[in-house]
Structure 1
């Protein structure tokens, strides 16, 4: 059996991604990960692959681990919508939920400016969008939805305002709502569900009227309200339950996007979301994730999962939840880990691509610790934390390995008035 050295391919410039594009073939969904939310090289290589998927393979949308309202503003900019920001940087710089650096950074600006230029040469119906999949934006989504209803369907405004008033006593504190709903006899669940029902029951009549893209956005904001309410209630039941609500929501949004905005999608999320949970210890505690759900819903032939990893370098992260971002060192991977093995065997940047129906190097079939840095990172915990036991060949379909990495460049420091979501998961 060939070893990992025989599998590894050079990785120097975007042309070296040819074998990965061949592996993608006719797949409709390519989920591209990252081993941290604050590393320049992960973002840059992910963008390079996405550019090629859009221009050479006809992928029609990019969906990211971000909030729907924030990312929809970026989407309007890159698609040249009337009244949108002329420069996507302005839309990204407006991100105000911690951790802003995940999307408000130079690498994402470069990609979105490129995407806007590409879209300028395309007919309106063929432009590639940029959308958010996440569930945290309950209050922002509610406000966006109320505003849209006032302008387009005033008969439903009262329903939306009733739902909004249900949440108002908790401010924007999801944790406070979660614990209140745990011990109170009622919650805002029914108000949120009624809101979504009232909005969607008129969809058939409205689809031929007005702005379909704006109406679709309103529906997604309504869906966020419903699932975010479920997410915050699930927080008090344990991390596995709330994690599953969040990842199921993200795949549900993606499925609606595939039906609405194009039949081929690129996903940008952390490895912990896009790598199949069944190949990690996540499954042992009842957690599912985006990668597993994609394979289950769409099949192995239609989904390609691409993981990332690095041996040493630097990262942008917070020392605790809600803390000011800072540049931190990422020490050499701990002995016995996947990254340490690849450093010893390869000692250079490399692309690994494999087929699921053929023999694999032993390194792809062993369970090895695989580094995962979230928005919270403490380098001093490298000896016992920061790693996920992983069977590489089952978790992903391809892997990008980098010897040395550097922190990405945020657009701005965290702001004093920035909204920090309740702590549930640090990836």
Structure 2
């Protein structure tokens, strides 16, 4: 398996990156010199060994991205994931995608009954905006790799793929409606939510204006699931998504921070359920945005009353059992929408704001590098001072980058390791099946 793995990936870890930027005279900025001295290269297979060694004791390894639309972040996370799966005992990958949609991809990944014929076909299950976050060429390649890898393993040892998000809750609700034990209660709940299903953001608006919420119908659905013969736990899993989604949108009526925290808590609860499902020694990989992966207590998020997945997992499992890995870029391009639901486009990523971590790493002169942090780094030395760190989401307006996209961060506290790619490229959306068939 190791030989096959290397043959598939080649010897070079990352390809297509520019030559390192020339070093800038930095004697007046001690942090730049410190970053240059501490940087680890990221160009060959062996360069990843220190990071993989650090991951050995962790039950959950969180791999963050600085944007959901950059090819290079997906590529490096895929490579780290493939090596960890091939060389260490990993039970599952959980992504910041919807539970029901990702379950269709998991069927293909684990060769389960009713699976699609290809990764591209399985990924069609992601059918709501921003579907390109998972329906892209790089993630498709990872799904195909997992399918091949699992094909050489017995069913009980195949690596699973799960979604841990709740934004696609209508699909989970439909699964409950389709089940005979919960059809009536699920239909009643959907009827209550019917005015809001096309745009769930109208639910908190209506509640703020005095509308009645749907919690009684949800309680009835919960009772039906509890009374059902749910041997495989599928109904409970779908209910978990639906319950937390209703609470998430309801919280928006009073506090955006409370709503954010409800969604993050759902991520953490889902991961705990997955660890329980796979057994006391199970280990998992998590793909999510930096704002979820990093520990919010070491950033400006804490002052806004916002928690993060990394924070909750460190609290639940301890720092030795969690590894939080972030990533960032100085400039390049990104796949994103200018507004929620807007057409996706390739947008420029302007050079990072002066004085930000991305700017300081750029000045250190590495095209691609990473850092491993020690516990003392968050308290002493140049890295203990907060600097801005950029966060690009699925909605991005480059002209307001400096105003909207930076969070003050103590980097070695917020993350255990950090990957820097000086120039990134936008994700590629693969052609549709009809386009592939054209001569």
Tell me the TM-score normalized by structure 2.
Answer: 0.87
1:51 aligns to what SS in structure 2? helix
Aligned to 1:309: 328
> Which string of whole-angstrom CA distances, capped at 9 and with x for unpartnered residues, describes residues 372-419 of structure 1?
111111111133231111110100000001111100101369xxxxxx
Matches for 1:32-181 after TM superposition, within 5 Å: 32-147=63-178, 149-150=179-180, 154=181, 156-181=182-207
Distance of 1:33 and 1:359 partners within structure 2: 19
Whether the 8 Å contact between 1:3 and 1:362 is mirrored in structure 2 is no
Select which of 194, 203, 209 maps to 2:220. 194
Select which of 255, 279, 283 maps to 2:272. 255
1:65 aligns to what SS in structure 2? strand
Structure 1 position 176, deviation (Å): 2.1
2:403 aligns to what SS in structure 1? coil
Aligned to 1:342: 361
Structure 1 position 249, deviation (Å): 0.7
> Which string of whole-angstrom CA distances, capped at 9 and with x for unpartnered residues, describes residues 13-37 of structure 1?
3432111011112210001000001
Distance of 1:383 and 1:187 partners within structure 2: 38
Select which of 300, 322, 330 maps to 2:319. 300
Aligned to 1:417: none
Cα 1:194/1:299, change in 2 over 3 Å: farther
Cα 1:185/1:102, change in 2 over 3 Å: closer
Say what the alpha-carbon RMSD is for the aligned residues: 1.9
Cα 1:179/1:358, change in 2 over 3 Å: closer
Whether the 8 Å contact between 2:98 and 2:169 is mirrored in structure 1 is no
Select which of 5, 9, 16 maps to 2:47. 16
Whether the 8 Å contact between 1:101 and 1:411 is mirrored in structure 2 is no
2:407 aligns to what SS in structure 1? strand
Structure 1 position 358, deviation (Å): 6.4
Unpaired segments ≥5 residues, structure 1: 414-427
Aligned to 2:348: 329
Residues 265-274 or 91-100, more deviating: 91-100
Cα 1:326/1:110, change in 2 over 3 Å: same
Structure 1 position 160, deviation (Å): 2.1
Distance of 2:67 and 2:55 partners within structure 1: 24
Cα 1:361/1:49, change in 2 over 3 Å: farther
Q: How many residues align?
A: 399
Residues 134-143 or 272-281, more deviating: 134-143
Whether the 8 Å contact between 1:354 and 1:360 is mirrored in structure 2 is no
Structure 1 position 196, deviation (Å): 2.7
Residues 305-314 or 339-348, more deviating: 339-348
Structure 1 position 198, deviation (Å): 2.6
Whether the 8 Å contact between 1:4 and 1:361 is mirrored in structure 2 is no
Cα 1:83/1:358, change in 2 over 3 Å: same
* Higher RCO (Cα < 8 Å, 6 or more apart): 1
1:111 aligns to what SS in structure 2? helix
Distance of 1:299 and 1:145 partners within structure 2: 35
Cα 1:189/1:270, change in 2 over 3 Å: same
Cα 1:197/1:7, change in 2 over 3 Å: farther
Distance of 2:108 and 2:35 partners within structure 1: 43
Query: Is 1:286 matched up with 2:305?
Result: yes
Distance of 1:359 and 1:309 partners within structure 2: 19
Whether the 8 Å contact between 2:377 and 2:413 is mirrored in structure 1 is no
Whether the 8 Å contact between 1:104 and 1:412 is mirrored in structure 2 is no
Whether the 8 Å contact between 1:314 and 1:406 is mirrored in structure 2 is yes
Query: Is 1:389 matched up with 2:415?
Result: no
> Which string of whole-angstrom CA distances, capped at 9 and with x for unpartnered residues, describes residues 288-335 of structure 1?
110100101111110000000111111101111111011111121121
Cα 1:363/1:35, change in 2 over 3 Å: farther
Residues 157-166 or 350-359, more deviating: 350-359
Whether the 8 Å contact between 1:129 and 1:261 is mirrored in structure 2 is no
Which stretches of structure 1, 4 residues or longer, exceed 4 Å deviation after superposition?
357-361
Whether the 8 Å contact between 1:351 and 1:399 is mirrored in structure 2 is yes
1:288 aligns to what SS in structure 2? coil
Distance of 2:423 and 2:224 partners within structure 1: 52
> Which string of whole-angstrom CA distances, capped at 9 and with x for unpartnered residues, describes residues 336-390 of structure 1?
1101101112332101112225688734211001111111111111332311111
Aligned to 1:25: 56
Distance of 1:374 and 1:387 partners within structure 2: 12
Whether the 8 Å contact between 1:32 and 1:267 is mirrored in structure 2 is yes
Tell me the TM-score normalized by structure 1.
Answer: 0.89
